[in-house]
């Protein structure tokens, strides 16, 4: 087939005219906003809060004219891309959105540049949550403490919250559970399978699935994984009496008031159970709040209420931090580092965080929680979240956390699936974690095995 | 060198023997010139990466100040393989998976090929339908079966409900999770066996079948004493191919169960993914990779030896 390319004379003349005008008056065809810094690329995961981040970024671009490109990936894919980028001679990504499970790996490996080293004038907004001081890193002590350098800015202060069916609670004349005993009693009360499950737990094995679901139970009952990470004592305490109590409780809840497929339920399935009206309670990161009242996704619009995760009597709520931090790659050109700092400077402000909240995200700036928006019905999760955030526990303060998480994922999942007993699971996991820690030359030890 | 010597050498070079030597050496040179690029490519793309993997398997890699530090650890990673519970669970499950899935695929594939070879009308249509699963991408297969086996609304449980049975958690129960993945793999890869067997059946000499019929053999006797013995080489090659591929299973496990519940669907490729990528243990992951390569090579050698043995007997 022959084809001829005809250029209309009028179009050619128009184009020549436009080119001539542009050459004569270069300022006349500039965009409304001129970028003041270099374009940057952010590597990020596809989480429930991603849409709010994307909209916040759009607001930044519209306000400043600066360009931000987002490289969006699944959870594990994001980590792999970050590792590849930071280990290259020159990095592809300027801002790394790091999860609580791997940010110390990035700090300790020397892959993230301290923000104050790039711009000594940078100050973290006084109202921004420092989330267990995880935004700082002390290279000498090899841990996250406030006396270290400012390495990152929080992007999403995620912690698990208790989502419960406010309508059912109202009918039954109940109030939000504060203790685990309350939660169990209420879950049993509403448990009527297959139409309604008392609670749906995230018991599947995954990158950080059942372990993350278990932390509020473990720490809320006074247990823990290590003796005192802050003091550098990594003696394993997982198989304590409290640890056993927590795991037995978690399994009992699953068996007697939970979903029969708890051992295979991941985040999507837990959310699905709640959104379709088949769960009375779930423990889920707060990022999923916006889906609850979305009529396109939810059968329980306006029926969900939020509360801090329950705890044992006399102990505070203890949700595990599952937050996200934004750090700047060390191996990118200086102009891009400075551009990244500009973005973070803007992002942490109250105004930007208000945009984030309106877009369905979780603000990292405490000032937003004191705004009138927090009183609106739509944002009814804000007050319980602000109540729980100060008690959030930073589960891992060392770079080899992913190895420990892998052990917990297998051991906990085996116990939930009934493959081994809770005692065997806790003793086995403790042995493996102690081996990992001693292998990396940490001060460690372990408790006597549970009988 | 004297002129006399030179002329004698020139004569020698002109002799038929010398011409042969020159011809051979130029042929040898030509062979190396043509073979060289392929050899260099193979060394660069196959030998070097494996050599690098082997070297890394004796090292620990740690990162500080953005730079890697390699520490020689000798055989420590290989020793650790023996006490890695996830690896042993993965190895055991992989063997069950590989043999279970491949035997299922072979039996079904052979039966389908046998039926298809007897069909006169619509053979192309049947063939097209039978090979459909092999054309579907792994990720789609994961989605299809995740929906099929869903506890709440999956077709499998809807079927159970129709006959008055309680729903079952196919992928979440340790008793049925591995079996479910095996069934998915059988569904996925039976067409591969079917195609090879069909090709094998269609190439069998027809005079042997005619002779067996003349001798009064029935269909079952024909299958047992004629078809199967003649198909042995094809069966062994198909078995070897599938066994090696099944040993490398990853996508179905990753998409359907992530190795769970517990370790009931843990397979070696998934353990390797965990150790090497998720936990970022490059040295230990390399040792595991070398061990897996060795095991796959061993399987291949055993299968090919069996084929040679069968060939010799034939």
| Contact by Cβ (8 Å): A80, B277 | yes
Q: Do A417 and B281 touch (CB under 8 A)?
A: no
Q: Determine contact: A414 vs chain B, CB below 8 A.
A: yes
Name the band, by pLDDT with cuts 50, 70 and 90, for residue A111.
Answer: very high
Backbone φ, ψ for residue A76 (5° rounding): -65, -35
| Contact by Cβ (8 Å): A180, A220 | yes
Interface subset of B 100-129, CB within 8 angstroms of A:
none
Task: Report the CATH number that the domain containing residue A344 is assigned in CATH.
Answer: 3.40.190.10
**Looking at the 3D structure of chain B, how many domains does it have?**
2
A328, A296: one domain: no
B42, B7: one domain: yes
Distances (CA, A) of A358 to A56, A352, A353, A354, B253: 9, 10, 9, 6, 39
**Looking at the 3D structure of chain A, how many domains does it have?**
2
B40, B121: one domain: no
Backbone φ, ψ for residue B303 (5° rounding): -65, -40
Q: Do B169 and A76 touch (CB under 8 A)?
A: no
Of A41, A99, A100, the C-alpha closest to A75 is: A99
A314, A346: one domain: no
| Contact by Cβ (8 Å): A128, A364 | yes
Name the band, by pLDDT with cuts 50, 70 and 90, for residue A2.
Answer: very low
Of B274, B284, B260, the C-alpha closest to A403 is: B274
pLDDT digits (tens, 9 = 90+) for A158-193: 999 999 999 999 999 999 999 999 999 999 999 999
Name the band, by pLDDT with cuts 50, 70 and 90, for residue A3.
Answer: very low
Q: Cα–Cα distance between B26 and B32 in angstroms, integer?
A: 10
Q: Cα–Cα distance between A405 and A411 in angstroms, integer?
A: 10
Q: Cα–Cα distance between A181 and A242 in angstroms, integer?
A: 15
- The kind and range of the H/E element at A306 are strand A304-307
Would residue A447 count as lying in a domain? no
Of the CA atoms within 13 Å of residue A22, those in its CB half-sphere come to 9
Q: Determine contact: B65 vs chain A, CB below 8 A.
A: yes
The pLDDT of residue A94 is 98
A and B: number of Cβ contacts within 8 A: 99
A303, A282: one domain: yes
Q: Determine contact: B277 vs chain A, CB below 8 A.
A: yes
Query: Is the pTM value of this prediction over 0.80?
Result: yes
Across chain A, what does the average pLDDT equal?
A: 91
Chain A, nearest residue to B64 by Cα: A109
* Residue A183: domain span: 160-320+395-439
Would residue B72 count as lying in a domain? no
A180, A51: one domain: no
Residues of B in contact with A414 (CB under 8 A): 261-263
pLDDT digits (tens, 9 = 90+) for B260-273: 898 999 999 999 99
Q: Cα–Cα distance between A260 and A255 in angstroms, integer?
A: 7
A70, A55: one domain: yes
| Contact by Cβ (8 Å): A29, A22 | yes
B169, B294: one domain: yes
Mutate to test the interface with A, among B79, B151, B257, B260 (most CBs of A within 10 A): B260
pLDDT digits (tens, 9 = 90+) for B58-79: 999 999 888 999 999 999 999 9
Residues of B in contact with A418 (CB under 8 A): 174
pLDDT digits (tens, 9 = 90+) for A311-346: 999 999 999 999 999 999 999 999 999 999 999 999
Least confident of A9-23, A55-69, A131-145, A231-245: A9-23
In sequence order, which residues have a C-beta less than 8 Å from that of residue A110 and are 6 or more positions away?
A: A330, B63, B64, B65, B66, B67
* Residue B44: domain span: 3-56
Q: Do B279 and A80 touch (CB under 8 A)?
A: no
Q: Do B63 and A110 touch (CB under 8 A)?
A: yes
B170, B114: one domain: yes
Task: Report the CATH number that the domain containing residue B84 is assigned in CATH.
Answer: 1.10.3720.10
Secondary structure string (H, E, C) spanning B90-110: HHHHHHHHHHHHHHHHHHHHH
Name the band, by pLDDT with cuts 50, 70 and 90, for residue A4.
Answer: very low
Q: Determine contact: B173 vs chain A, CB below 8 A.
A: yes
A308, A219: one domain: yes
Q: Determine contact: B167 vs chain A, CB below 8 A.
A: yes
The pLDDT of residue B281 is 92
* Domain's final residue, options A380, A410, A431: A380
The pLDDT of residue A290 is 86
pLDDT digits (tens, 9 = 90+) for B275-311: 999 889 999 999 999 999 999 899 888 877 877 776 6
Q: Do A110 and B174 touch (CB under 8 A)?
A: no
Residues A183-205, buried b or exposed e (16+ Cβ, 10 A)? bbebbeebbeeeeebbbbbbbbb
The pLDDT of residue A319 is 96
Q: Do A402 and B280 touch (CB under 8 A)?
A: yes
Name the band, by pLDDT with cuts 50, 70 and 90, for residue A25.
Answer: very low
Q: Do B258 and A261 touch (CB under 8 A)?
A: no
Q: Which class for A85: exposed (0-12), middle (13-18), buried (19 or more C-beta within 10 A)?
A: buried
A82, A230: one domain: no
Residues of A in contact with B257 (CB under 8 A): 264
Residues of A in contact with B262 (CB under 8 A): 205, 263, 410, 413-414, 417, 419-420
Distances (CA, A) of A440 to A156, A437, B60, B62, B177: 30, 5, 11, 10, 35
A146, A241: one domain: no
Q: Mean pLDDT across the stretch B86-115?
A: 95
Q: What is the ipTM of this complex?
A: 0.79
Give the pair of three-digit tokens for residue B3: 């002129």
């Amino acid at each position: 087939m022959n084809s001829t390319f005809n250029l209309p004379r009028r179009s050619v003349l128009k184009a020549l005219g436009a080119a001539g005008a542009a050459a004569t008056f270069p300022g006349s065809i500039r965009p409304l906003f001129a970028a003041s810094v270099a374009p940057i690329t952010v590597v990020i995961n596809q989480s429930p809060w991603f849409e709010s981040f994307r909209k916040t970024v759009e607001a930044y671009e519209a306000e400043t004219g600066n360009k931000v490109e987002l490289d969006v990936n699944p959870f594990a894919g994001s980590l792999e891309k970050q590792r590849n980028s930071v280990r290259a001679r020159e990095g592809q990504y300027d801002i790394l959105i790091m999860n609580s499970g791997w940010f110390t790996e990035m700090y300790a490996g020397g892959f993230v540049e301290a923000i104050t080293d790039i711009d000594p004038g940078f100050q973290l907004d006084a109202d921004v949550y420092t989330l267990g001081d995880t935004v700082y890193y002390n290279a000498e002590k090899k841990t996250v403490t406030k006396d270290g350098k400012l390495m990152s800015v929080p992007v999403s202060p995620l912690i698990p919250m208790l989502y419960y069916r406010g309508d059912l609670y109202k009918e039954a004349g109940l109030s939000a559970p504060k203790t685990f005993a309350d939660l169990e009693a209420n879950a049993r009360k509403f448990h009527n399978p297959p139409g309604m499950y008392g609670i749906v737990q995230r018991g599947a094995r995954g990158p950080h699935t059942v372990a993350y679901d278990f932390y509020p139970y473990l720490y809320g009952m006074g247990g823990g994984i290590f003796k005192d990470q802050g003091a550098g004592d990594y003696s394993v305490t997982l198989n304590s009496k409290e640890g056993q109590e927590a795991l037995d409780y978690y399994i009992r809840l699953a068996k007697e008031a939970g979903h029969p497929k708890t051992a295979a339920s991941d985040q999507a399935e837990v959310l699905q159970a709640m959104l379709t009206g088949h769960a009375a309670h779930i423990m889920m990161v707060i990022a999923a709040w916006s889906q609850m009242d979305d009529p396109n996704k939810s059968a329980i619009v306006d029926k969900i209420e939020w509360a801090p995760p329950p705890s044992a009597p006399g102990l505070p709520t203890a949700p595990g931090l599952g937050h996200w931090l934004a750090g700047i790659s060390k191996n990118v050109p200086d102009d891009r580092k400075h551009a990244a700092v500009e973005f973070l400077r803007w992002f942490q402000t109250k105004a930007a965080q208000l945009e984030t909240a309106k877009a369905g995200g979780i603000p990292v700036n405490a000032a937003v929680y004191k705004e009138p928006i927090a009183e609106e019905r739509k944002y009814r999760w804000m007050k319980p979240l602000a109540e729980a955030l100060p008690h959030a526990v930073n589960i891992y303060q060392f770079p080899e956390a992913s190895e420990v998480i892998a052990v917990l994922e297998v051991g906990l999942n085996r116990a939930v699936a009934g493959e081994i007993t809770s005692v065997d699971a806790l003793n086995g996991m403790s042995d493996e974690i102690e081996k990992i820690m001693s292998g990396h030359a940490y001060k460690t030890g372990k408790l006597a095995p549970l009988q | 060198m004297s002129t006399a010597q030179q002329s004698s050498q020139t004569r020698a070079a002109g002799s038929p023997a010398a011409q042969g030597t020159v011809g051979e050496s130029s042929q040898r040179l030509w062979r190396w010139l043509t073979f060289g690029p392929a050899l260099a490519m193979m060394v660069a793309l196959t030998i070097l990466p494996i050599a690098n993997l082997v070297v890394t398997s004796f090292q620990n890699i740690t990162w500080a100040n953005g730079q890697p530090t390699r520490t020689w650890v000798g055989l420590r990673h290989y020793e650790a393989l023996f006490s890695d519970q996830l690896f042993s669970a993965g190895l055991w499950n992989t063997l069950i998976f590989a043999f279970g899935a491949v035997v299922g695929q072979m039996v079904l594939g052979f039966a389908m090929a046998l039926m298809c070879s007897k069909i006169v009308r619509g053979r192309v249509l049947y063939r097209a339908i039978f090979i459909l699963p092999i054309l579907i991408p792994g990720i789609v297969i994961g989605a299809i079966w995740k929906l099929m086996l869903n506890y709440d609304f999956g077709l499998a449980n809807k079927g159970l409900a129709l006959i008055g049975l309680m729903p079952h958690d196919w992928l979440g129960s340790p008793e049925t999770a591995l079996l479910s993945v095996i069934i998915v793999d059988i569904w996925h890869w039976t067409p591969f066996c079917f195609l090879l067997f069909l090709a094998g059946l269609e190439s069998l000499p027809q005079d042997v079948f005619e002779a067996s019929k003349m001798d009064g053999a029935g269909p079952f006797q024909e299958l047992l004493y004629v078809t199967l013995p003649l198909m042995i080489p094809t069966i062994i090659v198909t078995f070897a191919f599938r066994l090696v591929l099944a040993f490398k299973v990853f996508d179905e496990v990753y998409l359907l169960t992530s190795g769970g519940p517990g370790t009931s669907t843990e397979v070696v490729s998934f353990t390797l993914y965990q150790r090497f990528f998720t936990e970022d243990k490059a040295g230990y992951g390399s040792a595991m990779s070398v061990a897996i390569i060795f095991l796959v090579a061993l399987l291949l050698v055993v299968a090919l030896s069996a084929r040679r043995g069968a060939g010799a007997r034939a």
